[in-house]
Amino acid sequence: MNIEFNKNEDTMKMAWNRVRQHLEKIHEGGGKKAAALQKEKNKLTPRERINYLCDAGTPFTEIGAFAGFEMYEEQGGCPAGGTVSGIGYVSGRQCVIVANDQTVKAGAWFPITGKKNLRMQEIAMENKLPVIYLVDSAGVFLPMQDEIFPDKEHFGRIFRNNAKMSAMGITQIAAVMGACVAGGAYLPIMSDETLMVEGNGSIYLAGPYLVKAAIGEDIDSETLGGAGTHNSISGIADYKFKTEEECLNHIKKIMDKLGETGKAGFDRIVSKAPEKNNGEVYGIISEGNSKPYDMLDIINCIADAGSFDQFKEDYGKSILCGYGRIDGWAVGIVANQRLIVKNKKGEMQLGGVIYNDSADKAARFIMNCNQKKIPLVFLQDVTGFMVGSRSEHSGIIKDGAKMVNAVANSVVPKITIIIGNSYGAGNYAMCGKAYDPRFIYAWPTAKIAVMGGEQAAKTMLQIQVATLKKKGQLITPEDEQRLLQELTQRYDSQTTPYYAAARLWVDAIINPADTRKLISEGITVANHNPEMAEFKTGVFQV
């Protein structure tokens, strides 16, 4: 280990420590006082419910913990989007779990809550996973109803997906542990089985106050829509329990009887440890990602030892492609390269730029993986495609379109890890969020934007200065410098992994040392869906 490695390691570990500190706060939900109120009602917090439900000693992959991060400050915040969700093991079966957090605004649905719940249903549908809903919600957050209620990707899409998943044969189980109000009442009833907790669980289209206002009827919550009412009178619930623990135990009983639905058949052999110690991944990237590094070092920290075989190793060197194994799973790896390499004219820093030959190579490799039914792993640290007359005249747009075409039409599971930069069309070509990766994770060093902060700020500065001058305003060099600093700060704040995770552009900000484990879990999830479309590419120029 050299001094440079130790400096990089310290920087990365501090970056992850900042993420972890934010997560600790997020995990408190609405705060200790709100959690104490749950206890007074003999209710568990959502994280306690999930922990009780999941098999001991198995991983729980949380999705969207940073959803809503620093987004709803005027409304008092919305930690984790008011919902705790992820993929866990219940009675030995991998499943999606979605739990409302009643400590956050009574579990009300913010716009990001709807987006997060739709993401979890998307994961279930793509991978044919059972879904368990732990319901405890007051319904739509009314002050923002116009941003959550009427549109295609809003609240109502949840129930549409309930119906679609049922038709697909995906098991859905709903446990009503608290309020389930208005339109939200359809979710448990559109699930296969509905469980309710006596005294706390309630389901109705309108609560007692609204019933009184609408038709003048005086009625209490339990009589209107409690567990007793819906199990013995309306018949819309299937089971009732005195405690949450009894309810969760019954979910486990239901899950342990589910039949096997088949596998996709992705290849897996006995796992081997990586060539490099897993902890060495911390010391590869410099502070600010300002220095070149060899992506092979990262691959050797996550791939099984001796398994990575490069495809077209001496061609298109700004992208590494190759077949390998991660925790025994066969994978195709597509990774940006940041090395300084020597060419005939001297030295050239690749810097994560995609050149013509690299795009051409990657497109061919992606098609090969689809032909061979091998899942794809994208390791992003990309600043975009090469620009300038030489690249344009060589057809960089044509070659880039070829790669984008291959990524867009790929039918094997794709898992994307944003390690460093993720800029412009490079984000698209390397399977960014818009290209449907099964899972997309970011390291604490990730930056996602249309271009780098410095270039973007200078571009915006030129536009602003030209506009001000047209209006006859005098702009001094000092004014320009101040404007540049303001623009850079604002732009940089929008490129952080926190900003991306808050808006669910990525599923989670992860510990770099967990990359191998999360890729393996992701392929395990994807292997549950035996159905795969035929691979076809669209028209592209050759």
Q: Print the SS3 string covering 94-137.
A: EEEEEEECCCCHHHCECHHHHHHHHHHHHHHHHHCCCEEEEEEE
pLDDT > 80? residue 258: yes
CA distance 121 to 132: 10
Predicted confidence at residue 527, as pLDDT, reads 97
Predicted confidence at residue 506, as pLDDT, reads 98
pLDDT > 70? residue 38: yes
- Residue 146 confidence class, pLDDT cut points 50, 70, 90: confident
**Distant-in-sequence contacts of 159-166, Cβ < 8 A, 24+ apart:** 159/183, 159/186, 159/187, 159/190, 161/118, 161/121, 161/125, 162/186, 162/187, 162/190, 162/191, 163/190, 164/125, 165/121, 165/124, 165/125, 165/131, 166/190, 166/192
Q: Per-residue pLDDT tens for 494-513?
A: 899 999 999 999 999 999 99
- Residue 541 confidence class, pLDDT cut points 50, 70, 90: low
Amino acid at 140: V
Tally Cβ neighbours within 10 Å of residue 286.
17
pLDDT > 90? residue 334: yes
- Average pLDDT of the segment spanning 7-19: 96
pLDDT > 70? residue 315: yes
- Residue 246 confidence class, pLDDT cut points 50, 70, 90: very high
Of 26-35, 60-69, 281-290, 383-392, least confident by mean pLDDT is 383-392
pLDDT > 80? residue 276: yes
pLDDT > 80? residue 196: yes
pLDDT > 70? residue 91: yes
- Average pLDDT of the segment spanning 119-123: 98
Q: Per-residue pLDDT tens for 158-186?
A: 999 999 999 999 999 999 999 998 777 88
Q: Which two tokens stand for residue 50?
A: 């999930």
Paired strand residues for 421: 447
Q: How many CA atoms lie less than 13 Å away from 358 in the CB half-sphere?
A: 24
pTM of the model: 0.93
Who has greater pLDDT, 261 or 420? Answer: 420
Q: Per-residue pLDDT tens for 215-237?
A: 999 998 899 999 999 999 999 99
Amino acid at 358: S
Predicted confidence at residue 341, as pLDDT, reads 66
Q: Per-residue pLDDT tens for 374-423?
A: 999 999 999 888 878 888 877 788 889 999 999 999 999 999 999 999 99
In percent, how much of the chain has pLDDT > 70?
Answer: 97
- Residue 141 confidence class, pLDDT cut points 50, 70, 90: confident
Predicted confidence at residue 206, as pLDDT, reads 85
Q: Per-residue pLDDT tens for 335-373?
A: 999 887 666 665 566 678 999 999 999 999 999 999 999
pLDDT > 80? residue 542: no
**Which residue, among 62, 28, 65, has the nearest Cα to 497 in the 3D structure?**
65
Predicted confidence at residue 346, as pLDDT, reads 59
- Residue 453 confidence class, pLDDT cut points 50, 70, 90: low
Tally Cβ neighbours within 10 Å of residue 318.
26
pLDDT > 80? residue 1: no
Mean pLDDT of the chain: 92
